[in-house]
A = this chain, B = another copy of it.
Amino acid sequence: MKTKITLKDIARELEVSISTVSKALKNSEEISRDTKEKIQAFAKLYNYKPNNIAISLKNKRTKNIGVVIPDIVHHFFTTVIRGIEKYANAKGYNVIICVSNESFDKEVINMEMLANGSIDGFIMSLSSDTQSKNDYNHLKEVTEQGIPLVLFDRVTNDIDCDKVIIDDQLGGYLATKKLIAEGRKKIALITTDDYLSVSKARSDGYIKALSESSLELDESKILKLSTMEIEEASIRNFFDTQEVDAVLCVNEVFTVFSMRLLQEKGLRIPEDVSFIGFTNGLLAKFSNPRLTVVAQHGEKMGEISAQMLIEKVESEHEEETFQTKILEPTLVVRDSTIN
């Protein structure tokens, strides 16, 4: 096993001081051509690479950014990660990912682990647990320590930091408008409880679009699921008791599941019922019929988050100015609506 070579090793071998080696490898003017060449050749020969940890300790910069997300199996989050990775790597940063699994406790633990020197800044999306608890002390602690934080998608007003979100209300609005434009009158909404900030906003957009048209808001056409898991019984019961000609769902899974349920009842999509979902993922592209969806542009969101974070990380003086970037969702029209 050839163990990693250090500056000290090179210094000993070449009978110079550690400082000289360090400077030579940085091509410092201070060192003579001869010595530099000798040292650089030796270093290359033995494949010297500086120890990241030592460098981190010295300049108090890890070149790591911590990402805390509720779930990694969701398409939306993975696209965001991909965007973060893309930008961060290009800037020479590593990405440390922790998943909170929608749990407040895991979120806190993860942040504490990372905050003790492992990372230069956080990018995160709140767990549903955290949003319903409404407890953001762990975020407050981090920002008070001067660690930059950017929140994306699931954010909170209780914390002053950079944020990047999509205009979920607009998304709900656009989708509903589209359904109304098709002539749909009985438009159902399948969503989650309001504690999830994004669901709330999407619902608001739905309501806004309805109120702008002559359609009346019918609360019984709104199904609020308490978790993000499929509650088959609730959904089945909902469609058994409600007559609908269009359905808007706040995520992909709800959409596809509901769609199949109606298909099984003999209804045709989109002739009898139109469907629009949120998230332009695999399911949307490959479901049958393919889904019309509100696309959230997760990758872009990731890139912007990373950019905002790294800017803060690398800025010398801590400016106390925070911005919230709002991305516009777009409607991707496929075959679950009438075109």
Which of under 10, 10 to 19, 20 to 34, or 35 or more describes the interface residues of A? Answer: 35 or more
Measured CB to CB, the closest approach of chain B to A84, in angstroms, equals 10
Tell me the minimal C-beta distance from A311 to chain B in angstroms: 18
The stretch from A19-27, A182-190, A218-226, A253-261 touching chain B is A253-261
Contacts of A97 in B (CB 8 A): 81, 95-97
Residue in contact with A1 in the complex, picked from B53, B98, B112, B318, CB distance below 8 Å: B318
B145 near A3 with CB under 8 A, answer: yes
Which of chain B's residues have a CB closer than 8 A to the CB of A117? 4, 51-54
A253 CB contacts on chain B under 8 angstroms: 282, 286
A252 contacts across to B, CB distance below 8 A: 282
Residues in B with CB closer than 8 Å to A118 are 52-53, 64, 94
In whole Å, how far is A28's beta carbon from the nearest beta carbon of chain B? 21
- Let me know if A338 is at the binding interface, CB within 8 A: no
A145 touching B1 in the complex, CB below 8 Å, given contacts A72-B82, A78-B78, A117-B53: yes
The answer on a CB contact under 8 Å between A75 and B72 is no
Of the listed residues A94, A99, A114, A141, the one surrounded by the most CB atoms of chain B closer than 10 A to its CB is A94
Q: A94 to B98, Cβ gap below 8 A?
A: yes
List the B side residues contacting A49 at CB < 8 Å: 112, 115-116
Instruction: Answer whether residue A56 sits at the interface, using C-beta atoms and an 8 A cutoff.
Output: yes
Q: How many copies does the complex hold?
A: 2
In the complex, A79 has a CB within 8 A of chain B: yes
Chain B residues closer than 8 Å to A106, beta-carbon distance = 89
For residue A12, CB closer than 8 A to chain B, the reply is no
Instruction: Name the distance in Å between A115's Cβ and chain B's nearest Cβ.
Output: 8
How far, in whole Å, are A75 and B253 apart by their CA atoms in the complex?
A: 14
Q: What is the bound-complex CA distance between A189 and B282, given in angstroms?
A: 22
Chain B residues with Cβ below 8 Å from A95 are 96-98
Interface bits A117-128 vs B (CB < 8 Å: 1, else 0): 110000000000
Asked if A323 CB lies within 8 Å of chain B CBs, one says no
Q: How far is the CB of A91 from chain B (nearest CB, A)?
A: 12
Which one, B47, B52, B256, B286, contacts A257 given CB within 8 A?
A: B286
Is A316 an interface residue, CB under 8 A from the partner? no
Complex Cα distance, B2 from A22, in Å, reads 34
Give the docked Cα–Cα distance between A257 and B257 (Å).
18
> How many angstroms between the C-alpha atoms of A53 and B63 in the bound complex?
12
For residue A235, CB closer than 8 A to chain B, the reply is no
- Asked if A62 is at the interface of the complex by the 8 Å CB criterion, the answer is yes
| Interface: A242 (CB within 8 A) | no
CB-CB nearest in chain B for A2: B144
Which residues on the B side are within 8 Å of A98 (C-beta)? 85, 89, 94-95
Closest-CB distance, A85 to chain B (whole angstroms) = 6
Q: How far is the CA of A64 from the CA of B98 in the complex (A)?
A: 12
22 contacts between A and B (CB under 8 A): A50-B116, A52-B118, A53-B57, A53-B117, A54-B57, A54-B117, A64-B96, A72-B82, A73-B78, A73-B79, A81-B97, A85-B98, A89-B110, A94-B96, A94-B98, A97-B97, A256-B286, A260-B286, A260-B288, A263-B288, A282-B282, A283-B283
